[in-house]
Structure 1
Amino acid sequence: MTSLTLTLPDDTDRRLDEIAQGRGKSIDALCDAMASQLVAEADAEAQFRARAQRGQGQNARGLELLEKALGNDHSH
C-alpha cells in the first residue's frame, strides 16, 4: 500500500472530516473509496471509448441489430 500526503484547504479538510464521521469512516477510508471510484470510472470510460473506436464505420449494422433486438426486423 502507498502512503499519500495531501494539502487541502482548511474548509475542505473540515468538511471531509464531518462527512467521514457521518459515515462512520476515517478520512483515509473515505479518500480510498473516492480514489477507487475515480479509477473505476476512468477504466469504464476507457473501455467504452475502445468499444466505440472498434465500432466506427459500422453505424448501419449497429442500427440493424438494434432494430432486430427490438423486434422490428423487417428483413423477411
Structure 2
Amino acid sequence: MTTISIRLPDDMAERLKDIAKARGISLNKLMFELSIQALAEEEAKQRFLAAQLRGNPKRAAQLLDELDALGL
C-alpha cells in the first residue's frame, strides 16, 4: 500500500474530518471511499468515450453531457 500526503486548506481538512466523524469512519477510510468513487466515475466516463467511438457518436456524446450535468 502507498501512503500519500496531500495539502489542503485548513477549513477543507476540518470539513472532511467532520464528514468522517458523522459517518463513523476514520478520515483515512473516508479518503479511501472518495478515491474509489472518483476512480469509478472516471472508468465509466472512459467506457462511454469508447462506446462513442464504436457506436452512435451523437448518443454517446449526449450521455456524457448528461453525466457532466449531474456532476459525475
Shorter-chain TM band: 0.7 to 0.9
Question: What TM-score results when the alignment is normalised by the length of structure 2?
Answer: 0.74
The 5 Å alignment of 1:5-24 reads 5-24=5-24
Aligned-residue identity in percent: 38
Report the Cα distance in structure 2 between the residues aligned to 1:27 and 1:6, rounded to whole angstroms. Answer: 13
User: Is there any run of 5+ residues in structure 1 with no aligned partner, and where?
Assistant: 60-76
Superposition RMSD in Å: 1.6
Structure 2 matches for 1:21-36, cutoff 5 A? 21-36=21-36
Bigger radius of gyration, 1 or 2? Answer: 1
Counterpart position of 2:49:
49
Q: Calculate the TM-score normalised by the size of structure 1.
A: 0.71
Aligned length: 58
Gaps of 5+ in 2: 60-72
Amino acid at match of 1:30: L
Choose between structure 1 and 2 for higher RCO, CA contacts under 8 A separated by at least 6 residues: 2
Deviation beyond 4 Å, 4+ runs, structure 1: none
Q: Deviations over 1:41-65 (max 9, x none)?
A: 00011001101111147x8xxxxxx
Quote the Cα distance in structure 2 between the aligned partners of 1:14 and 1:21.
10
